[in-house]
A and B are shown apart, each in its own frame.
Chain A
């Protein structure tokens, strides 16, 4: 499969703190890759690096054959990378449908001036984007709530709306930052189904960061494990599960057993 994203020896340093070190990963088009690691391992920092919120202090990142080092967040989005946030960042005081409409921004042909003049062309385009927003929202079961403010949605719907908003930018790569955070087991199962469905229907690559092992294990054929800003393991769920380094990172070292049995 064609390579979509490649990071080579990426690192970022905040003063004396080495948040990420020597991260080299590849994501193929259409792949579903998981990234796990304990709290503070640098997962979200890696997302912020990919999306241009932070700059790498070493190494390079290529996305769809474009170097990302000089690009700003909005330009990276234009290349086809979209994300959700660990702490939901919806446009709280906008309605559900507006949250989606605004994400078509880059794809819209009409200028701002056209929305003041409101000619026939503008009208036609506005209507067609509304139809697209409806399709998306109906697919995710949010159309009935379209006129509600995003902040008034229940938690699970807010998570879903954030995914819809990201999908509205037509990404080639979707970054999901701990989508299962704060969910109970039933909601987690629904989320697993949702991500699987998104992956199939929208034909995109997904990089899933999760704190929760079960979600990643059941979704991702390939998993990368991060600890203290470094990659400590990579492989299939089976390999990761049995990797002693991973077990150590999550559970700590086994206490030395002084009582020897004869």
Chain B
């Protein structure tokens, strides 16, 4: 396949992972976080540093295995390492900020997301301001779409269960949710940690796709782009997030024919979308075939 198209398809997958993971925080739990690019950065730099600095050790450790398999193992561990770092970041950011509500939370996460970026910018062993180069190219179509599948299955199963409905209840009405015994703070933290974990994995995939990282890729504008995907898809719709992630990744490419008018048309299209469908492309609906089957069947 043409490499250009393959690159776009891969970016669609990574953006979909980012949007679906952010959807848990914003769409399902109703916590407006502007720090998702920060979590992505932690995952990207964490996993890239892992593969770059641990590669020799891994190849030696698994010298009995064929090198390609050993490298796949290395990549898997690096991704999980990056995701775990990001989820720790989510925990650290979440504990002080999730006591805030609405716009205050947005501002606090925006600030903390930028702090993460600036911190990474000043770490010399990951390239600092020069950028992190020579990251091995491990990411491919199969890794991305395997992980996207796992994320989608996990997220839909999570909220389509009696216990997981607690996320939605908090979004709908936090006071009422507390009154029926739901620890809203705990669930918000869980949403943050799980969302940040997958954002970190998404970052790891991104790092090993591009083989080069610079903190400019993780500014708050990136966070806003992910929020745009969640909102355009319909807050709380996993399928909507995927659809919107595909659309918003494709549009700038398709609009290349319009050359310098590209970003103006892109922005206008976004405005038109939101006027025509303020609830998002899918609202809160999902494609039924994507949802887990209910144990009670159709009459439950």
Contact = CB atoms under 8 A, between A and B. Distances in A.
Interface string A58-99: 000000000000001110011000110100011111100110
B300 interface: yes
Given A74-B183, A106-B181, A91 B162 contact: no
A127 B158 contact: no
B292 A73 contact: no
Interface in B163-216: 163-166, 168-169, 172-173, 175-184, 190
A130 B298 CA distance: 12
A234 B154 CA distance: 55
A166 interface: yes
Contacts of A111: 163
A94 B167 CA distance: 11
Interface string A109-122: 01110111010001
B201 to A, nearest CB: 16
Contacts of A118: 157, 292
A63 to B, nearest CB: 14
A159 interface: no
B126 to A, nearest CB: 32
A126 B161 contact: yes
Interface in B262-300: 284, 292, 295-296, 300
Given A53-B175, A85-B176, A126-B162, A169 B169 contact: no
B168 A77 contact: no
B163 A112 contact: yes
Among B153, B157, B181, B183, which residue has the most Cβ atoms of chain A within 10 A? B181
B170 to A, nearest CB: 9
Contacts of A228: none
A115 B296 contact: no
Contacts of A72: 178, 183
A127 B294 CA distance: 9
Interface residues of B, number: 30
Contact of B300 (A77, A130, A169): A130
A123 B161 CA distance: 10
Given A115-B157, A115-B164, A116-B158, A92 B172 contact: yes
Contacts of B154: 116
A127 B295 contact: yes
Contacts of B169: 91, 94, 102
Contacts, number: 112
A214 B172 CA distance: 34
A108 interface: yes
A105 interface: yes
Given A112-B158, A115-B161, A116-B157, A83 B168 contact: no
Interface in B113-172: 153-154, 157-158, 161-166, 168-169, 172
Given A82-B180, A115-B157, A89 B164 contact: no
A88 to B, nearest CB: 9
B23 to A, nearest CB: 15
A83 B165 contact: no
Given A74-B181, A74-B184, A102 B284 contact: no
A165 interface: yes
Contacts of B180: 77, 82, 102-103, 105-106, 165-166, 168-169
Contacts of B162: 101-102, 104-105, 108, 115, 126, 129-130
Given A116-B157, A118-B292, A77 B176 contact: no
A158 interface: no
Contact of B163 (A85, A89, A108, A166): A108
A161 to B, nearest CB: 12
Nearest to B178: A73
Contacts of A108: 162-163
B141 to A, nearest CB: 25
Given A101-B162, A118-B157, A94 B168 contact: yes
Contact of A77 (B158, B163, B178, B292): B178
A7 interface: no
A169 B180 CA distance: 6
Contacts of A90: 172-173, 176
B296 A127 contact: yes
Contacts of B157: 115-116, 118
Given A77-B179, A105-B181, A130-B300, 8 more contacts: A85-B176, A89-B179, A90-B173, A101-B165, A102-B166, A102-B180, A105-B166, A126-B296
Q: What 6 pairs between A and B have smallest CB-CB spacing?
A: A115-B161, A77-B181, A91-B172, A106-B181, A73-B178, A89-B176
Interface of B: 153-154, 157-158, 161-166, 168-169, 172-173, 175-184, 190, 284, 292, 295-296, 300
12 contacts: A77-B179, A82-B179, A98-B165, A101-B165, A102-B168, A102-B169, A114-B163, A115-B158, A115-B164, A116-B153, A116-B158, A130-B162
